[in-house]
Amino acid sequence: RKLGQKVRIGAKLISADRENTIWSHNFDFTIDEMFDIQDELVETIVSTIVGHVDDEEVKQLVRVKPDNHTAYDLVLQGLEYHRKSNVTVENAKKAVEFFDQAIEVDPNCARAHAWRACSLSNYVGWRPDEYGEDWIDQCADSVIRSLEIDQNDHEAHRIMGAISLVRGDFELARHHQERAMELCPSDAYIMGKNAALLVYLGEPEKALEIVQHAMRINPFCPDDLFVDEGMCYFWLGKYSEAVNCFRKMKTPDRESIFYLTASLSKLGEGIKSAETLKQAFKMTDLSVEDFLLTQHYQNPELKQELREILESIPI
């Protein structure tokens, strides 16, 4: 539709099987902005399709009997638990088990090796003693095997970036996260993890730009992006905005509840921050020190600042 210099394009994405509307949106712009809006329109539709297809596949597999699962099916089942692995230790353990099963069914399933590394890393965050001191090497070996099978797997690069961060190799972490975005530029989850890395590298402004771009092009963006956005605001000193982001989480996870606690403390909300910290201890079964072990900042002063905030809260 066109009215003078103003133009509106109505875009709608419909499921061919069910004939229901998945997503719709009106793009309003001027004629001079037409070429700019074309890129945004394409990015939004692509990212919406990617996210919706993944969710639909997982939902369908939940109803499939276990003896009918292929390696790919097992990977998707593992992902269902992996996405909630920051909520409970049971979810984290279940995810590792599904990826192990997928590898048994098909040792050449690259994605199974990659996601096993990611889920194992999350599980160790809950149970640090269960896999021994070389757990990070086990994770790295899994991703290396994945990249040997498929060197262009964006998830493998993302996960290797996360492993490199834990190892303290910050430049290698940046390389793999950027490679993941090059391979899959419209994936909001990949964007979010790239943004999270930038937070740990001390670049919250740049991280916030990436997060907000991901949210703009993907109306079904994962809840993880609210955590990434909240962490950006926290380190930018915008604590009210950070609190709003963390409270958008449907199910609070490890990062969201501890950073929510710290944000409330910085706002002078003593009672609320103490209550939230108690909830964090109960929900995660982690002490402040255990939580800080999962936060890999390039600048140690940032971790120390976070430590001082959390330890100053009287409970």
264-310 pLDDT, tens digit per residue, is 999 999 999 999 999 999 998 899 999 999 999 999 999 999 999 99
Report the b/e string of 84-119 with b at 16+ CB within 10 A: bbbbbeebbbbbbbbbebbbeeeeebbbbbbbbbbb
Average pLDDT of the residues in 99-120: 93
Element housing 27 (H / E): strand 21-30
The mean pLDDT value of the chain amounts to 86
Could you tell me the two tokens for 237?
A: 């000193």
Do 51 and 58 contact (CB within 8 A), yes or no?
no
Residue whose token pair is 């160790």:
124
Closest CA to 259 of 220, 232, 298: 232
Fold of 64-185: 1.25.40
pLDDT at 252 over 80: yes
Could you tell me if residue 218 is left (phi over 0), alpha (psi between -120 and 50 degrees) or otherwise beta?
Answer: beta
In this prediction the pTM is 0.74
Could you tell me the two tokens for 81?
A: 């638990």
Rounded to an integer, what distance in angstroms lies between the CA atom of residue 134 and that of residue 128? 11
Rounded to an integer, what distance in angstroms lies between the CA atom of residue 26 and that of residue 171? 40
pLDDT at 61 over 80: no
Query: Does the fold of domain 221-315 match that of domain 64-185?
Result: yes
Domain boundaries, the chain: 1-54, 64-185, 221-315
- Say yes or no: domain 221-315 is CATH 2.40.480.10: no
- Cβ burial of 158 (10 Å; 0-12, 13-18, 19+) is buried
139-174 pLDDT, tens digit per residue, is 999 999 999 999 998 989 999 999 999 999 999 999
Rounded to an integer, what distance in angstroms lies between the CA atom of residue 300 and that of residue 13? 46
Going by pLDDT thresholds of 50, 70 and 90, the confidence category of residue 63 is very low
Going by pLDDT thresholds of 50, 70 and 90, the confidence category of residue 10 is confident
Spacing of C-alpha 66 from chain mean position: 27
Do 118 and 82 contact (CB within 8 A), yes or no?
yes
Spacing of C-alpha 63 from chain mean position: 25
pLDDT at 228 over 60: yes
30-60 pLDDT, tens digit per residue, is 777 766 666 666 666 665 555 555 555 444 4
